[in-house]
A = this chain, B = another copy of it.
Amino acid sequence: MNGGRAGTERLVVIGGDAAGMSAASQARRMRGPDELEIVAFERGHFTSFSACGIPYWVSGDVPERDLLVARSPEQHRARDIDVRLRTEVVEIDVERRRVRARDAVSGTESWTPYDRLVIATGARPVRPDMPGVDAPGVNGVQTLDDGQALLDSLEHAEGRRAVVVGAGYIGVEMAEALVKRGYAVTVVNRGAEPMSTLDPDMGCLVHRAMEGLGITMVNDADVTKLLTGREGRVRAVATDDAEYPADVVVLGIGVRPETGLARAAGLPLGDHGGLLTDRTMRVRGHENIWAGGDCVEVHDLVSGQERYVPLGTHANKHGQVIGTVVGGGHATFPGVVGTAVSKVCDLEIARTGLREKDARRLGLSFVTATIESTSRAGYYPGSSPMTVKMLAERGTGRLLGVQIVGREGAAKRVDVAAVALTARMTVEEMTALDLGYAPPFSPVWDPVLVAARKAAAKVHETP
């Protein structure tokens, strides 16, 4: 017992965002302060904020920063969670069950013992090592401070030309945000098409739609340097072939697990650099340490392999599971199927399960079916086109993955496939699903069912 009071255990949480504070909150719900002391260290200025909301704050859709804070440090403290902001944990001493933390302001360091530890250190953005990357006008969008810096950067920009580096979720969402701010936006993308989480044939639909929105898409392009001008401020993004003038640059290249501390402490990391846990989010081989959120790898229920999927929705579920288990209850996080949804203006993009290249890498023999349908009955006002691509295992017919690109109603339709993947349904079984139908909501055959019918018809074809 490390706690200050007799009979009290101490839970230490490293990281004050979704996973860490969900864990702390749920643990508090289950055990009162007389049983469990909770200390949470956060190196930044905020707790429990929605990083996923930053693009919409930048766009102006969300009018102020504090709306993105689900629960402030004061709110956590009011529930007897001792939140220590601007305090970075710099070492985990697994042997002696304690962490060393540094106060960012004073620089002083001290050890805090724990009975149970939650590691929720999150992710760090990939920041390419190239000239100009630290110049004023170049911005990440990982934290609320980043978001504020970007807004300041927009304020000081001399012109209205923005370049977004990267065309994944963050890239396309930031492209939308900057279009809404009135910028001429160029997206420079290393891949053949935007949204590499989709197959290229579906990414191509996103590409065309983005161009339709007035966004310039540059594919197959590696950024080599960022050129600077007056006062050292960024003025252009350079690839091997070209230069793209920029008054502001947003880096949306992706993130990696922030697991330096865990690595130094000898905790188990996977191939993607994330912490490895069991289904209760307990770090493998460590009875009293849990980890969740963007610093862990997750089990992929479709491939059977570990993956790195840094999404807020998983982080919240991890925190909920950890808090329940730490609090003495039972809960598990069985894994993910790879669902993700996004939008660029009114274009909705969704995916779940395996892409063609994932299925090939796993050595699976599969068929694909791509169909075009509509969001509502064709005769109902506002009906808009939707493309659904479905992958199924040849022979067995097991659903492997679904990708959807369309307008209103496209994104959340992928949830049907997410549940079907979880239940290991076949596409033949899916054709009979009793999905909601009424003219304002769907054609009489839901687009997902149309895709399932086409895939089911191909499952028994010889390759």
Residues in chain B near residue A377, CB distance under 8 A:
50, 52-53
Closest B residue by C-beta to A382: B61
Q: Are B436 and A50 in contact (CB under 8 A)?
A: no
Q: Are B67 and A342 in contact (CB under 8 A)?
A: no
Instruction: State the CA gap A441–B347 with chains docked (Å).
Output: 12
Instruction: State the CA gap A341–B439 with chains docked (Å).
Output: 10
Q: Are B419 and A436 in contact (CB under 8 A)?
A: no
Residues in chain B near residue A432, CB distance under 8 A:
317, 332-335
Instruction: State the CA gap A434–B380 with chains docked (Å).
Output: 31
Is A416 part of the binding interface, using a Cβ–Cβ cutoff of 8 Å?
A: yes
Q: A420 → chain B, closest Cβ, in Å? A: 6
Q: Which residues, 8 to 67 on A, are CB-close (under 8 Å) to B?
A: 18, 50, 52-53, 56, 61-62, 67
Q: Are B438 and A52 in contact (CB under 8 A)?
A: yes
Instruction: State the CA gap A446–B444 with chains docked (Å).
Output: 26
Q: Contacts A50-B444, A411-B441, A435-B339 hold; do A380 and B62 have CB atoms under 8 A apart? A: yes
Is A337 part of the binding interface, using a Cβ–Cβ cutoff of 8 Å?
A: yes
Is A111 part of the binding interface, using a Cβ–Cβ cutoff of 8 Å?
A: no
Other A-B pairs, 4, CB within 8 Å; known A56-B379, A412-B435, A415-B435: A50-B379, A53-B439, A343-B438, A418-B436
Instruction: State the CA gap A431–B320 with chains docked (Å).
Output: 10
Proximity string of chain A (426-460) to chain B, C-beta cutoff 8 Å, 1 when within and 0 when not: 00010111111111111011100000010000000
Q: Are B411 and A436 in contact (CB under 8 A)?
A: yes
Q: Which residues, 352 to 369 on A, are CB-close (under 8 Å) to B?
A: 352
Q: Of the candidates B332, B422, B438, which one forms a contact with A342 in the assembled complex, judged by CB atoms under 8 Å apart?
A: B438
Closest B residue by C-beta to A300: B434
Residues in chain B near residue A434, CB distance under 8 A:
313-314, 335-339, 352, 418, 422
Residues in chain B near residue A436, CB distance under 8 A:
339-341, 350, 352, 411-412, 414-415, 418
Q: Are A380 and B423 in contact (CB under 8 A)?
A: no
Is A94 part of the binding interface, using a Cβ–Cβ cutoff of 8 Å?
A: no
Is A259 part of the binding interface, using a Cβ–Cβ cutoff of 8 Å?
A: no
Q: Contacts A333-B432, A379-B50 hold; do A412 and B411 have CB atoms under 8 A apart? A: no
Instruction: State the CA gap A441–B350 with chains docked (Å).
Output: 11
Interface residue range, chain A: 35 or more
Q: Which residues, 124 to 163 on A, are CB-close (under 8 Å) to B?
A: none
Q: Are A68 and B379 in contact (CB under 8 A)?
A: yes
Residues in chain B near residue A433, CB distance under 8 A:
415, 418-419, 422
Interface centre among A67, A437, A438 (most CB of B within 10 A): A438
Residues in chain B near residue A380, CB distance under 8 A:
53, 56, 61-62
Q: Can you offer 27 A-B residue contacts whose CB atoms are under 8 A?
A: A50-B439, A52-B444, A53-B379, A56-B440, A311-B437, A312-B444, A314-B434, A332-B432, A334-B429, A334-B432, A337-B434, A339-B436, A339-B437, A341-B438, A343-B438, A343-B441, A350-B436, A411-B438, A412-B412, A412-B413, A412-B441, A413-B415, A415-B416, A416-B416, A418-B436, A420-B423, A422-B423
Q: Of the candidates B334, B338, B341, B425, which one forms a contact with A437 in the assembled complex, judged by CB atoms under 8 Å apart?
A: B341
Instruction: State the CA gap A61–B382 with chains docked (Å).
Output: 10
Residues in chain B near residue A312, CB distance under 8 A:
437, 444
Is A409 part of the binding interface, using a Cβ–Cβ cutoff of 8 Å?
A: yes
Q: Are B445 and A316 in contact (CB under 8 A)?
A: yes
Instruction: State the CA gap A381–B453 with chains docked (Å).
Output: 37
Instruction: State the CA gap A432–B335 with chains docked (Å).
Output: 8
Proximity string of chain A (387-431) to chain B, C-beta cutoff 8 Å, 1 when within and 0 when not: 000000000000000000000010111111011101101000101
Residues in chain B near residue A411, CB distance under 8 A:
436, 438, 441
Instruction: State the CA gap A380–B56 with chains docked (Å).
Output: 8
Q: Contacts A339-B435, A433-B418 hold; do A316 and B444 have CB atoms under 8 A apart? A: yes
Instruction: State the CA gap A7–B413 with chains docked (Å).
Output: 46
Instruction: State the CA gap A74–B380 with chains docked (Å).
Output: 23
Q: Of the candidates B320, B336, B409, which one forms a contact with A412 in the assembled complex, judged by CB atoms under 8 Å apart?
A: B409
Closest B residue by C-beta to A442: B412
Instruction: State the CA gap A429–B438 with chains docked (Å).
Output: 29
Residues in chain B near residue A423, CB distance under 8 A:
419-420, 422-423, 425
